[in-house]
A and B are shown apart, each in its own frame.
Chain A
Amino acid sequence: MSTPRTPGWATRTFIHGISGWITLLTYLFMLAPIVILIAFAFNAGKSTVVWQGFSLDWFGKVWSNRHIARALNVSLIVALASAAISTAIGALAAVAITRRQFPGRDVLGAALAAPLVLPEIVLGVALLVFMSFAGVTLGYGTMIVGHVLVSIPFATLIIRAAASSLDARLENAAADLGANEWQTFRMVTLPQLAPALFTAFILSATLSFDNLVMSTFTSGVGTTTLPLRIYSMLKLGITPEINALGALMVVANVAILFLVMGRYLPLMLKTNRR
């Protein structure tokens, strides 16, 4: 698109130019800290600000830190359990909402999205108060419930979007061909929903793995998650060990992002190159 020098071209150039510069600076602002963080994870010295040569020592430190290993273990258990529960409950609700008529359908749809707009800290506090009111000891159970609350809006929305685009004729065809409801569900509906279920599971697991707020209120003795451990390490001061741990988490986060986006990315690129 060539821009003829019609009246107003200066303003147009200004609007476009300034949006370009702000975008450039914003990307620098967003990405540079992460690059620097990763770079200093390879620093030989104890400093996180002065470069003293290349070394992998800090990664070794992270590897042999028993507190981190223990916290990682807790985080993985909670992430996998809460993601499995979120995906299962979300799938049941999403299929019911898109496929079945029942009173209060819209209310349930909105309620499942509600934890998205309610402040997470209030949900965490409420769960803490309720659990101690009910005499439940804080630990894996309470934390898994809390993380399910955090991830269920996302899981439900993803599966709902997929379920609403399913072709009902396929299920009818299966029924016509003599499949019973369970067979239809297992062999026709479920395979079509599988990609959405996978995305919902991975997203829920990541939200849980990175969660700080809900864990602050629902973790118990001996169930310190990795973010809780990092938070207390950060309060004591920053060391290259945190950088190394951070670098590893960046790699894990980005790998998962590409795993999830991998299917959508070629699609995004194609639709944009009209």
Chain B
Amino acid sequence: MQRAWRERIETGAMLAPSVVLLVLFVLVPLCVVAAYSFALRDPYGAVLPGFTLDNYRELFQSVYLLVFVNSFKLAAATTVLCLLIGYPVAYFIAFRAGPWAPALLLLLLIPFWINFLIRISAWVVLLGRGGLINQGMLATGIIDAPVGMLGTMGATLVGMVYAFLPLTVFPIYAALQPIDRRLLEAGADLGAGPATTFLRVTLPLSLPGVLAAALFVFVPSMGVFAIPVLLGGGKEIILGNLIVQLFLEFRNIPLGAAVSVLLLVFSGIGILLYMRALRRVEAMK
């Protein structure tokens, strides 16, 4: 009896720090943000007590709607490009690289591991007017004058793909790697061509990895703010920039809180869609 109580107290003591951390610094702060998103504000952005839907209503103005559309487009484009590039790379590492597979994975882990800002700064140099890409295109005669690539949506997209690509390769590789090679041979023996084998066997078996990759890219890419500033010149504002501006520059906390709540809701929808799709894929097997 005494021992059981001692064990219970011990377990409680082991759990207390993480529970306090999660409740005090995640749950309660998120509730405060949600509450602030319905608060009134004075002309200087200070929070006033009261309840209003004005903050959300304001977000339906065209300026802000555009931010939502931009963010969604950028996140979707980043996800699709990352999957289109990441899948063949993961396929190659899983099926073709043989003993080189660990080395290839490590080589992809290195850029992923290097400080995010340093990686982006490398692209600021490369895409600049005097940068190596312009120099190369000038030298080969593709262009006659340097092209302004920095400060465009294209530059932002390059930076996004660069930042998120390893995050797509790893989960897809993890899904492809354990596929039983004999299944593929069986497909071939039964007369299925390679395209059919790929579409009917390999691709369906790797779908959970593809879905995880899509989730890992889509959700965080909505909240990015440094890449659109450094590579996109801050012209196209996405949700991440909007949140930074509203909180740190305009000090419009209720409006910023409303944007944060919506971003959280979008992420939640993304996770739910992922789980539904995953269940459907698992059911197919």
Residues of A within 8 A of B (CB): 6-8, 11-12, 15-16, 18-20, 22-23, 26-27, 29-31, 33-34, 36-37, 40, 47-50, 88-90, 92-93, 95-96, 100, 102, 108, 111-112, 114-115, 117-123, 125-130, 133, 145, 148-149, 152, 156, 206, 210, 212-213, 216-217, 227, 230-231, 234-235, 238, 242-243, 245-246, 249-250, 253-254, 256-257, 261, 265, 268-269, 272-273
Contacts and interface: CB of A to CB of B under 8 A. Distances in A.
10 contacts: A16-B92, A100-B11, A119-B220, A119-B264, A122-B243, A145-B21, A149-B21, A212-B226, A216-B248, A234-B120
B89 A23 contact: yes
Given A112-B22, A121-B263, A129-B33, A249 B118 contact: yes
Contacts, number: 248
B194 A37 contact: no
A213 B102 CA distance: 31
A24 B206 CA distance: 22
A243 B120 CA distance: 11
Nearest to A242: B121
Contact of B92 (A23, A117, A121): A23
A250 B131 CA distance: 21
A36 B260 CA distance: 37
A16 B89 CA distance: 11
Interface string B83-127: 001001101110110010110111111110111111111111110
Nearest to A49: B130
A130 B29 CA distance: 5
Contact of A102 (B11, B108, B198): B11
Interface residues of B, number: 85
**Which 8 pairs of residues, A with B, have the shortest CB-CB distance?**
A130-B29, A126-B29, A33-B122, A8-B193, A119-B223, A12-B194, A246-B118, A121-B223
Contacts of B14: 92-93, 95-96, 100
B38 interface: no
Contacts of A37: 118, 121-122, 125
Interface in B183-203: 188, 193-195, 198
Contacts of B121: 37, 230, 234, 238, 242-243, 246
B232 interface: no
B113 A253 contact: yes
Given A96-B15, A272-B99, A121 B225 contact: yes
Contacts of A33: 119, 122-123, 126, 162
Contacts of A129: 29, 32-33, 36, 253, 257
Nearest to A132: B253
B153 interface: no
Nearest to B125: A48
Contact of B126 (A36, A227, A234, A269): A36
B193 A11 contact: yes
Interface string B127-159: 010111001000000000000000000000000
